[in-house]
A and B are shown apart, each in its own frame.
Chain A
Amino acid sequence: MKKLAIGALAATALFGQVTYERLLKAPSEPNNWMTYSGSYKSWRYSSLDQINRQNVANLKVAWVQQMPTSHRIEATPIVVDGIMYVTEPPSNVFALDAATGRPYWHYKRSLPAYNVCCDAVNRGVAVLGDRVFVGTVDAHLVALNAKTGAVLWDVEVADRKTGYSVTGAPLVVKDMVITGVAGGEYGVRGFLDAYDIKTGKRRWRFNTVPGPGEKGHETWPTTGPHANSWKQGGGPTWVTGSFDPELNLLIWGVGNPSPDWNADVREGDNLYTDSAIALDVDTGKLKWHYQFVPHDANDWDAVQIPVLVDGDWQGKPRKLIYWAHRGGFYYVLDRETGEFLLGKPFAKQTWAKEIDTKGRPVRLPNSAPTVEGNVIWPGVQGATNWYSPSYNPLTSLFYLTVWENKGWYLKGDPKYTPGNRYVGSVPDIDMSDDQGYGAIRALNPKTGEMVWEHKTQTKPWSGVMTTGSNVLFGATGGWLNRSSREDGEAYFFALDAENGKELWRINLGGTMASNPMTYMVNGKQMVTMAAGSAVFTFALP
């Protein structure tokens, strides 16, 4: 009897409750990985150092969880006190034993027809208390009981029939769960929402395309035949942002304007598309914004992860944001004001001469799509994209996945009909004469200069993570199992974060389009990466 009681206690302790205080101090609990990017600062860095540069070559597969789905996994798992919560695309959730991969429960959502541009994917869950939150491709937000997977509430974020979906991982702040939306290829009007974690009631909404009377609306046509283009203006928010508790600011990236490749119907800067936005987390009110690409016609979303670092800037301590944008420039912004501090190319680009002192790009000729087509660097997928970067406080370097590639940008006729694609053309991603290549690069975040690079034959669709032992985990890219004769590649690898030297690799044989993460269970550091429809976890023997 006594034994049983102890067992029950241990089980209760194992299901530890995630509090907001724990989320605030997430970096001090490296055994767990409690938010999409590992902490509110979004460094995708763990101070765990059991796996180090000397022994990483001995990594072995600890477990594999093959998911029933045929879609690729894009999720970063959350691990809390030995339990892993990871999504199975389109919109299902598994709770797994983080030590063995064995499932505790599986939430399977039955879905109506939905609209997602680029496969029905999901990037993960958020947790708070005994709740797990997941966004769905039919544009709902669902709260599940963390112990059973039972649905606690299920709210509609937006109308799926008009092209909205939720693919990003939510972010919990205080007693709210924040979620963005996808749908930039369907002419949605983007927004960011906050919901009460207990009731699912919406607390606030920030429209990323301002309506009449709202500041920024003047950056859209207000008269003439396109006066309503803002209603289908895009600006989705499909990748998880960051949070600064001291400034009480939520910092989030906003995606492309709609239609993607024909900007004629939306004269003006098209705020707040392709922008970083900073919102008061309690009210959803805009504190500042910075637009990377005014009047974008190249589909260069600003949905990258905002990396928040308190650092020295030209001799003075300053709250900074490091941001490598899809258009090929690396930026440093002031986190309190949004002031532009630095903009420097990290890959070949042919669209801007420079970013001027006020932070506005100086456009080069032939940098927009035309009816005949224009070759522009970077290509449609950008010089980087949604995959996570990493900041390592030991090396003080910023790491990211880079594509060196060009694209063929065509302009066509955009016609808006609700729930249908509204893109304005069909660009070519891979140029058959020159497909380009990929790389993992380390930048000096103060200058944007490259410190080292690790080149890859194919262009990676995955992010990077670094650890307290200066190991970087990353992946090669390419789409596998396509009809084309040459496949991509599927190597998961470890590099020396100081110099980029490769230390270990394994072929996982499935499309990798997610981000590595790490945690510790039973005294062992584990490293997890998804490939294809499976989750792979590695540890030392």
Chain B
Amino acid sequence: MRIRVLMVMLGAAGLAAAQTTSPQATPAGRAAGEKIFRSHCASCHGVAGVGGTGPNLTTGVFYHGSTDADLYKNISQGIEGTAMPDQFFNGVQIWQIVAYVRAISAAPVKTKLPGNAAHGAELFSTKGCSGCHLVKGEGGVRGPDLSLIGSQRSVAHLRESINDPGAKVDKAYWVAKLITKDGRSRSGFVLNQDTYAVQMLDFADGLRTVNRSDFKDFGVDRGSIMPSYKDKLSASELDDLTAFLASLERTREKK
């Protein structure tokens, strides 16, 4: 077959969507779901589902729909505009994952974060963060847009990214360094590329297409251009900044 993991499973999903609650909400179903979760979901959502490069799933809040049917749809079809892919599982397995996710989010523990978010917001601009990161439309474009980062990443990941920005770098933020045959150097993010050209966000020039036939040298740095703030913030400032970032949450969609 020509499997395409990302394809919509119209037939299977169509049949299964008729269900509104997981028929696998049993101890055995949850256990099977946990097994799948650990092998296929944990790399982004964390082993315990508390989040990592993907959102925390234990808070009881699901921004793209909170019913079992919503979860089923999001697991089977992926979530457009996010890194959440669709999954090549059969209906039974998807319901098992839903049952497990439901179990770990059943009694959300709202841990109060240390730190003062309002002070964190000040630090965000005084310490230079806003020079590269957008928040609600204000800031630079040399780093990820952080407007909803509190919904997208775990607190642990946020702390790690402040202290050690190169630890986990999304491919979209690898920096391309390019020298053209006329001696001009460019650097920026690769937005897209094809056989003939690279479409990039040049840090100096904005959106630019550069033909491969004009390349003299082209390389991609998989690290981060962000400096570490490990020694630039006190412990309480790190708490404040983290609290601010964690507060940047998606408004829950009303159904």
The contact of B194 among A256, A412, A489, by CB within 8 Å, is A489
In the complex, chain A residues whose CB is within 8 Å of the CB of B85: 483
A10 at the interface (CB under 8 A from B): no
Report the interface size class on chain A: 35 or more
A485 at the interface (CB under 8 A from B): yes
Report the interface size class on chain B: 35 or more
B79 at the interface (CB under 8 A from A): yes
Interface string of A376-420 (1 = CB under 8 A from B): 000011000110000000000000000000000010100101011
Min CB–CB distance B3 → chain A (angstroms): 6
Contact B90 A426, beta carbon cutoff 8 Å: no
- Cross-chain pair count, CB within 8 angstroms: 109
Min CB–CB distance B181 → chain A (angstroms): 19
CA distance A117 to B11 in the complex (A): 9
Most chain A Cβ neighbours within 10 Å, of B1, B78, B171, B190: B1
In the complex, chain A residues whose CB is within 8 Å of the CB of B137: none
The contact of B40 among A118, A236, A426, by CB within 8 Å, is A426
B8 at the interface (CB under 8 A from A): yes
In the complex, chain A residues whose CB is within 8 Å of the CB of B111: none
Assuming the contacts A421-B88, A456-B195, A457-B195, asked whether A117 and B1 have C-beta atoms less than 8 A apart, the reply is: yes
Contact B12 A457, beta carbon cutoff 8 Å: no
Contact B89 A256, beta carbon cutoff 8 Å: no
Q: Which candidate, A108-116, A142-150, A276-284, A349-357, is the interface stretch facing chain B? A: A108-116
B173: nearest residue on chain A (CB-CB)? A485
Residues of chain B from 80 to 98 with CB closer than 8 A to chain A in the complex: 80-85, 87-92
B82: nearest residue on chain A (CB-CB)? A483
B118 at the interface (CB under 8 A from A): no
B193 at the interface (CB under 8 A from A): yes
Contact A485 B172, beta carbon cutoff 8 Å: yes
The contact of B6 among A255, A301, A479, by CB within 8 Å, is A479
CA distance A456 to B9 in the complex (A): 29
A432 at the interface (CB under 8 A from B): yes
B212: nearest residue on chain A (CB-CB)? A457
In the complex, chain B residues whose CB is within 8 Å of the CB of A263: none
Contact A184 B89, beta carbon cutoff 8 Å: no
Interface string of A487-513 (1 = CB under 8 A from B): 101010000000000000100000000
With A260-B3, A386-B2, A426-B87 given, name 18 new contacts (CB 8 A).
A115-B11, A115-B12, A117-B3, A185-B1, A301-B2, A381-B2, A419-B15, A421-B89, A423-B88, A426-B40, A429-B4, A458-B194, A458-B195, A483-B78, A485-B172, A485-B192, A486-B191, A491-B196
**13 cross-chain CB contacts under 8 A:** A115-B12, A116-B11, A117-B2, A137-B11, A184-B1, A381-B2, A421-B90, A423-B3, A426-B88, A455-B195, A456-B195, A458-B194, A486-B190
Closest 4 CB pairs of A and B: A489-B194, A421-B90, A420-B90, A119-B7
